[in-house]
Amino acid sequence: MKYNKLDLGTIEALVNKLGGMEGVNKFLSNKIRMVEISEKICFKTWKKINIGTYKSLEELYNSLIFPPHGIVSNMTHWGLGMGEILYQINPVLSSEKREERLVNVSPLELGIKRGFFVDATLEDVCNRAQKNGLALCSEEAVFQLAVQGLEKRNERVHIPTKSGVFTLSWNSNNLFFSVYPQSPTTIYRKKDRFVFLFV
């Protein structure tokens, strides 16, 4: 016998789980299949932002660079300034105003536990978030968060989008903004913070 530790009691329990011999026969003939069931994580809303409040990229750009939301430091992997980033990414601006709820979560809170120091790749984080009912933010949502979410506290978040991974870092009165090309194999620590969209 291949599984010599499998006793009759365990076999009977498996048969009962499948609904008796009828269930066993259906399972063996591929008429029913096993599906892994995992309990979804309950997330709290981190921030609410308004989408569709700007009619043009110029309006959005002016809100980003002028007080009270002015971004004083723009360090980017591409070596671009804020205006160049905005126009190169060219986010699609929603024509309808709506409120979106954002979630702020770490790899550890998503249940990813792969190591003591380094826990997850970007692909791990995004896949786990999407399996739990979250979605990638739009590029507009990132810029809106930069405008609407400026607060006087130390905070740093990564925001994966289809265009790349944006990082917003609040430090005292200043907001640091960067964007990097998206690489699925980029490694993050277990307590790094990521922002996703409630759907």
- pLDDT of 75 reads 47
Confidence band, pLDDT 50/70/90 cuts, at residue 97:
very high
180: its two tokens: 């990097």
Which residues fall within 8 angstroms of residue 185, CB to CB, at 6 or more apart? Answer: 121, 122, 123
| Integer Cα distance of 171 and 176 in angstroms | 8
- On the 0-12 / 13-18 / 19+ scale of CB atoms within 10 A, 107 is buried
Region 63-77 average pLDDT: 59
Region 161-182 average pLDDT: 79
CB 57: neighbour CB atoms within 10 A? 17
Write out the DSSP string of 27-69: HHTTSS------PPPP----EEEEES--SSHHHHHHHHHSTTS
Q: Of 68 and 47, which is predicted with more confidence?
A: 47
- pLDDT of 113 reads 72
- pLDDT of 146 reads 85
pLDDT tens digit sequence for 102-139: 999 999 899 887 655 456 899 999 999 999 999 999 99
**pTM of the full structure:** 0.74
3-state secondary structure of 71: coil
Average per-residue pLDDT for the chain = 81
166: its two tokens: 């944006």
Most confident of 37-46, 129-138, 150-159, 160-169: 129-138
Cα dihedral 91, 169, 159, 51, rounded to 10, equals -50
Q: What one-character DSSP code corresponds to residue 107? A: T
| Integer Cα distance of 100 and 40 in angstroms | 21
Confidence band, pLDDT 50/70/90 cuts, at residue 174:
low
pLDDT tens digit sequence for 136-155: 999 999 999 988 875 656 78
CB distance 115 to 185 below 8 Å? no
